[in-house]
Amino acid sequence: IEKCLPYTGKSFRIGITGVPGVGKSTFIESLGTQLTDSGKKVAVLAIDPSSARTKGSILGDKTRMEKLATDENAFIRPSPSAGTLGGVARKTHESIILCEAAGFDTILVETVGVGQSEIAVHSMVDFFLLLQLAGAGDELQGIKRGIMEMADAIVINKAEGDNLRKAEMAKREYANALHLFPMPESGWSPKVDICSARDNFRVTEVWEMINDYFSFTAQNGYFLNKRKQQARHIMHQTIQSNLGDLFYQNQSLKPMIEDMENKIEKDMISSYNAAGLLIREFIALLK
């Protein structure tokens, strides 16, 4: 990884999220195919915390992106099974570095579900896209404020047939809601658009909007500042992760950890005291 770093940093990293059924795979295939047709090299990565539990993956079945999967200028990598979300995120960030070093200029990172996986993706991409559906009752219901605040753009997918009018209405609702949020640090006002990934309707316009964001943030210095901020975050994340590995892989500590777990279950010691004793023992073993 270290040897690859001099060859990285020249790609656009784009996070794509949305509830299951919103059409993320179709959107990624539509956008990715347009990009490869225009001469770009596209890598598609995934963060799926459930893959660690089920050993499955949202992108394990590449038939969801048949055309892109066979495109010589595209690379699709399923979510790594790394035991924890932190592990999955770390492996995904390493994949970004390797893909950039291999010459991919557009990295699309897909995430599943809502919550922690979005935060993990947001911390490693330049642009964060939230895909939504129209006509599912109250448009803003069930969307966590935090995820909307993270989004650099919201795109209502499946704007086709009878859904087109609903998508236009949803677009207005989201635009009004975004006006209530404070201006992001980037200085960019998050945009709202509609598209139909299935029909390739307005997917080009979504890409143009993403490009506008990159130009805007490159000009005001935010793009580079965010990359540096992310690099600092990765340093702290790596320290925490490596220290955790050292702690739990220490054979001398394992009997004591089991003993503390038993004592906690029997209410003989508090979790905080047990953790303190284990950490002190760990430090003593390192000396």
Distance, first Cα to last Cα, the chain: 30
- In order along its 287 residues, the chain shows pLDDT tens digits of 888 888 788 899 999 998 888 999 999 999 999 999 999 999 999 776 555 455 444 444 456 788 899 999 999 987 665 556 666 777 888 899 999 999 999 999 988 655 677 888 889 999 999 999 986 545 455 566 778 889 999 999 999 999 999 999 999 999 998 988 999 999 999 999 999 999 999 999 999 999 999 999 999 999 999 999 999 998 998 899 899 999 999 999 999 999 999 999 999 999 999 999 999 999 999 98
Number of domains in the chain: 2
Whether residue 268 sits in one domain with residue 210: no
> What's the pLDDT at 205?
98
> What's the pLDDT at 90?
78
Could you say which DSSP state residue 196 is in? B
Whether residue 171 sits in one domain with residue 117: yes
> What's the pLDDT at 60?
47
Token look-up 């490009």 returns 211
Whether residue 266 sits in one domain with residue 178: no
Whether residue 172 sits in one domain with residue 53: yes
In contact, 43 and 99? CB cutoff 8 Å: yes
Whether residue 155 sits in one domain with residue 36: yes
- Write out the residue range of the structural domain in which residue 213 sits: 2-221
Whether residue 213 sits in one domain with residue 237: no
Whether residue 259 sits in one domain with residue 192: no
Whether residue 216 sits in one domain with residue 79: yes
In a domain, 86, yes or no: yes
In contact, 41 and 74? CB cutoff 8 Å: yes
Whether residue 101 sits in one domain with residue 47: yes
In contact, 17 and 128? CB cutoff 8 Å: yes
Residue 112 in tokens: 């599943």
> What's the pLDDT at 87?
67
In a domain, 226, yes or no: no
In a domain, 187, yes or no: yes
Angle between helix axes 222-248 and 85-101 (nearest 10 degrees) is: 130
* pTM for the full predicted model: 0.87
Whether residue 176 sits in one domain with residue 97: yes
Q: What is the CATH number of the domain that holds 84?
A: 3.40.50.300
In a domain, 34, yes or no: yes
